[in-house]
Structure 1
Amino acid sequence: MNPRQYLLAAMLALPAFGAAQAADVELWRLDCGSIRIGDLSAFSDTLRYQGEERTLTDSCYLIRHDASYMLWDTGLPAALLGASQEGGGMKPSLATTIKDQLSEIGVAPEKIETVGISHNHFDHVGQAADFPQARLLIGKADLDGFRAEPPAFAVDPSLVKPWLDGKGALEAVEGDKDVFGDGSVVMLSTPGHTHGSHSLLVRLAGQGAVLLSGDTVHFEEQFDNNGVPPFNVDRAQSLASMDRLQDMAKALNATLVVQHDANDIAKLPAFPAGAK
């Protein structure tokens, strides 16, 4: 997409941000795993956090738009259920599945009509194939990453096989994407972590606007110190995307939720409660 096309996409998205919300929208925070980090300095290209350890959350989200259901990210693969987090390095583990959590609130897997993906790393698409009937929304550049030979860092194409095989509805997103056409749920282009990374704006009647970060940052401190992991694909884009989310949070008086930060996800109700 050339600069003129990006400008046009942004101009088309602007009315959606200010649109009156008529739909009944509800948001649930799901437990989609955790990742034990033995050396947190791996998340800073300036080698901050030397000697620190931390467990990152791997949250994903269910959104009800009237009678339509959408998942935002699908967490770690079910193969990691009960995996040990002992030892060094990065240790992902899953305690429950999305399907099991949906059953607690009476939502059949077949009701999921849309799966929106922040980016193509395995810890955000792990359970996507459990919902093959859904339309998959993902940044075009990240879709291309699934098809690359060899696949990009942390990318496992088998996790989105139904869509790569042409059996599922698939939309490659460029720029921002108004998911339901009324401004209530908008994918926001926030490249830098990957070339096609997105965050999500959800407008709730009661709580107000909520911004879900994707992997624009992995924990709150990175906003304060401009922290960029060395495995991000573009440092300048990473910083610009961080600025975009923070500026939007101020403009909308939004709740900004860093999806990998345990303190941040606690800004939303604990499952099975939802936010409205």
Structure 2
Amino acid sequence: MLKILGKIGLLVPALAVGAVWLVVLRLKGVPVPLLVTYGLLLAGSVVGLLWPGVLGRRATRGRVLAFLGVPVGLGTLGLYLAVVYYVTDLPVLLALAAAACLTWTAALFLRVRRAAGDRGARQTRRAFLAGGAGLALGVLSGLSVDQVERRRREVLARGEQERQAAVRAPGGRRRIAGGAVRVFPIHTGDTVVTYGQFYGGLDGWEGLNGYVRTLVGKAQITVPVHAYLIDHPRHGLMLVDTGVNWEQARDHDGYYDMTSRLLTERDEYRMSPGQDLRVQLARLGYDAKEISTVFLTHVHDDHAGGLRYLPQATVVMDRRDWEHGVLYPYSFALVKDNLSFPAFDSGAFGAFPASQDHFGDGSVILLPTPGHSPGHMCVLLRLDAGSVLFMGDTLYTLPHLAVDQVRQMTIGGADTIHQMEAARRIQNLLASDPRIVPLFAHDNTRYHSDLVASAFAQGVLDEDGVRELRTHMEAVLTPDWRLRPGHTPRFVPPASGTGLGSVDFR
């Protein structure tokens, strides 16, 4: 009985790991028929090794290994090389192969001690061959480290050349002088998402079900990733979020390690050289080294990637996101000692029961809006003509303010409730003050591409700009936060049947 329970104890985690691996492969775009065949072989080999008799009276563990284990092993290696492998893995793979050969060598020598005659001699020869192969692979692993580093330096050098060329391209300008607070939207590239993830929160894209549909859904679109530069006469240069960095978009597999590559898509980010955060700052007349403060709405990598360029900046973020949010250490490696966590003890602000007056002069107010992440926050900046509310990912676009009609994928449970509570508070705040305009991180409508771009072309939002943005908002949304005709999103499949679709509004 104990033996059976022990085998079951091995079977359950083995199948669970196999299921996760299959999900990862599906995320990487491996065709379903191939996954089904591979999954059956994988499950059969696991069950067959534990209970050989299940596969037939003549089945043995040796035959299971030969007829199922070997194809599964070769298939696993092939799938890994096809969808996950990057040259930086080479030293690790060679080291693992060396360790396997040396382990086999040790096992053979143990068998030699129990063998005699010709059989012992054969085992000895095999042991020496395996040991020699292990040592050779170990040496190759060490030698490959320098080659991998050289290739990495070459990739980064090409990126630097592209960046410098983009900085020198026509159209750059000098920093605009003056005492006004200036805000510059910065488009740091695009991210590829499923349409349902972006617009399907009311159609079943919630919680675990939403994540599964994200993995298998291929109705994809691209949406922008925006950060915002603030040039403040009293508080210096600041950023709200930092967008995507060059390596994430142009050298994805080199930026992320082996484990992270399993959980991310190779082509999830797209960026032209001119969209690099450092390039755009330079073309506005600024230097990334001058940024003193970053207000991070949340820790997700498409908002935190640019932190790699800002080691001198103080990063202001909610402690809950740092302790419980899903973050990648690469983006935070250079700023982890420069974090500042607001206490949200400045009292109520409008519909928000808690807030943080960051500088103590009312110029920047931090508002907790948990839900999309444990410690998501929005940032309100006061200007002479009004105020801007940086939304982060609480709501993706202007139409998302109609949360009962348009909703992004949410985490589910209490997190969805918290996110919707935050959205209602934002609605109340916008309704209470017609001089507040919202700015979004991923808005893919003409609100951002046309009106926001025009209103902030020189960095200063004047009264006419506030009026135009609010007038457009009222043309899209009714006073009770419903969409007016002509503004409901609809997925448009790609013309060729493959590739990325687009979004139409009707």
- TM-score w.r.t. the length of structure 1 is 0.77
- Where does residue 268 of structure 1 map in the other structure? 452
1:133-189 deviation per Cα after TM superposition (whole angstroms, max 9, x unaligned): 1111011101113xxxxxx54x2122111232x3xx321124333233221222211
1:74 aligns with 2:267: no
- Where does residue 399 of structure 2 map in the other structure? 221
Taking CA–CA contacts closer than 8 Å with sequence separation of 6 or more, which of the two structures ends up with the larger relative contact order? 1
Amino acid in structure 2 at the alignment position of 1:163: V
Which of 368, 372, 390 is residue 212 of structure 1 equivalent to?
A: 390
Which of 163, 170, 191 is residue 339 of structure 2 equivalent to?
A: 170
RMSD of the TM alignment (CA)? 2.7
Secondary structure, counterpart of 1:273 in structure 2:
coil
Structure 1 gap ranges (5+): 1-22, 146-151
8 Å Cα contact 1:105/1:272 also seen in 2 = no
Amino acid in structure 2 at the alignment position of 1:248: L
Distance in 2 of aligned mates of 1:159 and 1:25: 28
1:14-53 deviation per Cα after TM superposition (whole angstroms, max 9, x unaligned): xxxxxxxxx831111011221122x311343432699864
Q: How does 1:14-163 map to 2 (within 5 A)?
A: 24-37=180-193, 39-43=194-198, 44-47=200-203, 53-66=220-233, 68-82=236-250, 91-95=268-272, 96-145=275-324, 152-153=325-326, 155-163=327-335
| Identity percentage of aligned residues | 25
Which of 411, 417, 421 is residue 240 of structure 1 equivalent to?
A: 421
Amino acid in structure 1 at the alignment position of 2:409: P
8 Å Cα contact 1:34/1:92 also seen in 2 = yes
Amino acid in structure 2 at the alignment position of 1:274: G
Secondary structure, counterpart of 2:278 in structure 1:
helix
Q: Which has the higher helix share?
A: 2
Q: Which has the higher strand share?
A: 1
8 Å Cα contact 1:36/1:92 also seen in 2 = yes
Label 1:265 to 1:259 Cα distance change in 2 as closer, same or farther (>3 A).
farther
Distance in 2 of aligned mates of 1:189 and 1:223: 17
Greater mean deviation of Cα atoms: 190-199 or 170-179? 170-179
- Where does residue 153 of structure 2 map in the other structure? none
8 Å Cα contact 1:139/1:172 also seen in 2 = yes
Secondary structure, counterpart of 1:268 in structure 2:
helix
- TM-score w.r.t. the length of structure 2 is 0.44
Label 1:247 to 1:100 Cα distance change in 2 as closer, same or farther (>3 A).
same
Q: Shift in Å at residue 110 of structure 1?
A: 2.1
